[in-house]
Amino acid sequence: MKKYIYLFLFTTAFSFIGCKKDFLDLKPTDSENTGNFFKTPAQFQQAITGCYQPLQDLYNGSFWVMAEMRSDNTSYEYDPYDRSGTLKEDMDEFRELNNNDYPAVFFTGSYQIIGRCNVILDRLPAAKLDASVTDPIVGQAKFLRAFNYFNLVRMFGSLPLVLKEVESVSDAYLVAVKSPVNDVYDAIIADAKDAIAKLPVKYTSEVDKGRVTKGAAETMLAEVYMTQKKFDLAIPLLRDIIASNAYDLNEDYADNFNINTKNGPESIFEIQYIEGPNGLGSDFVDTFIPWDYYDTDITGHEINNGAVNGWNIPTQDLVTAYEPGDKRKDASLTDFTSDEYGIELPFIKKYQSQGAVQGITANNFPVYRYSDVYLMLAECLNEQGYAGGGDAFKYLNKVRFRAGVDDRTAVDVPNQEAFRVAIAHERQVEFAFENHRWFDLLRTGKAVEVMTAHAQHERDYKSDSWTINPAAYKNIRLLYQYPLSEELLEHQ
């Protein structure tokens, strides 16, 4: 780990220079260097934009493997001809070893963002810029640093807490030690509070669309508090988001995922993608298509028919979770008859669009939506004390009304535990394929129970079509193993 922190974080200042993959209206200047770069408002704007870019790679690649396919929501379609995707299969079934690429890639990608944020935060004071310039930059850097640590700590537990730019080998040795989980959460909370104080409720310029706002920071901090069971601290944050009148539910649930209506009124924070041969596109539509789907009507292109496809396939547990008449089901998934297995298989519909080039689309990935605020607030209010027909029901039913399903009442949800079950169900179908489910299971302490039952369902369902690995689900781990590459470096 010591060498990793030095070699990776020490070079982050240089990674801003000439970056070609940044979005949010970035125009790189290749002739800049670290000696003259961190001085002007435009340079710091370019630098903070560079902090967002690795999120594109994380959400295209390892995040959905680790946060959605890990849960009972999705699995994979077994491909007997191309076995190059076994690392993802291992992740789905809790069989991965500590040398699996996906946790390692997620780990390094998250620290890349953290390192870039540290450079900005350390170098900004010396520029002596006006607070009107620095506050939004600091707010974004603090949010992004906190957001990545929040994901890391939930996935790996204790880890190095690096809050300063790594400028030397001696610095690297100082920051390489793993910090206790509570210390990591303290840093996350401090950053989130600073971000809330400095970020705008909304941006006025169209080119700033996609940047984090005060509402995004409040939503994240509320989720942090809920993870810590501090529901009383989450409630005022969630109420403040509602009182801001900055967000609203889309009338049509599907508009949250349509490339023509992205960044709409319900969007609090989403990962931005741009179609085209610029390295900024998303590939969800191709990755989430079954490998033996031969038609071109979904993506506009012939499917690769190999290990590139067939991932994040909805499970029967999720399919049956939708109530009759729930509009979210048709907006979220569809199905086809597998040529290979002769059975009906579902696949994700949320991110479907037809790009001019295969695997390069403009589909954004939602991180926080306004419906999340309603359901989080409903959960927090119930945890403070059950009240039949009270505000918790009101916020839950706002989400259900849009979905076209009946309101929950004190008759069918008669106590606090029943309301917990209702909220868990609502979150599962409302945020299916949005990387919430695994974190929700962890946060509510239901991961082992739910995944143990899911394991049996998977064995029963798949046994007639393909052989499920005997080692699947034998060890329902709540944390990912620390990447072997980091452990090896730590001991060198």
pLDDT tens, N- to C-terminus, the chain (492 residues): 444 444 455 456 546 554 544 445 433 344 455 567 899 999 999 999 999 999 999 999 999 999 999 999 999 999 999 999 999 999 999 999 999 999 999 999 999 999 999 999 999 999 999 999 999 999 999 999 999 999 999 999 999 999 999 887 667 666 778 999 999 999 999 999 999 999 999 999 988 999 999 999 999 999 999 999 999 999 999 999 999 999 999 999 999 999 999 999 999 999 999 998 788 999 998 999 999 988 787 888 887 778 899 999 999 999 999 999 999 999 999 998 988 898 889 999 999 988 888 889 999 999 999 999 999 999 999 999 999 999 999 999 999 999 999 999 999 999 999 999 999 999 999 999 999 999 999 999 999 999 999 999 999 988 878 888 999 999 999 999 999 988 655 544
Q: Is residue 129 part of a domain?
A: no
Q: Is residue 359 part of a domain?
A: yes
Asked whether the beta carbons of 353 and 285 are under 8 A apart, the reply is yes
- Nearby residues of 252 by Cβ (< 8 Å), 6 or more positions away: none
Q: Is residue 344 part of a domain?
A: yes
Q: Is residue 338 part of a domain?
A: yes
- Nearby residues of 237 by Cβ (< 8 Å), 6 or more positions away: 196, 218, 219, 221, 222, 225
Q: Exposure pattern of 306-320 as b/e (b: 16+ CB <10 Å)?
A: ebbbbbbbbbbbbbe
Q: Is residue 320 part of a domain?
A: yes
Name the domain count of the chain. Answer: 1
| φ, ψ for residue 382, nearest 5 deg | -65, -35
Q: Is residue 348 part of a domain?
A: yes
Asked whether the beta carbons of 395 and 375 are under 8 A apart, the reply is yes
Q: Is residue 439 part of a domain?
A: no
Instruction: Tell me the sheet residues that pair with 369.
Output: 267
Q: Which of 429, 457, 427, 455 is nearest to 442 (CA)?
A: 427
Q: Which domain holds residue 309?
A: 284-363
Q: Is residue 337 part of a domain?
A: yes
Q: Which of 181, 111, 183 is nearest to 144 (CA)?
A: 111
Tell me whether residue 71 is exposed, middle or buried, using C-beta atoms within 10 angstroms of its C-beta: 0 to 12, 13 to 18, 19 or more. buried
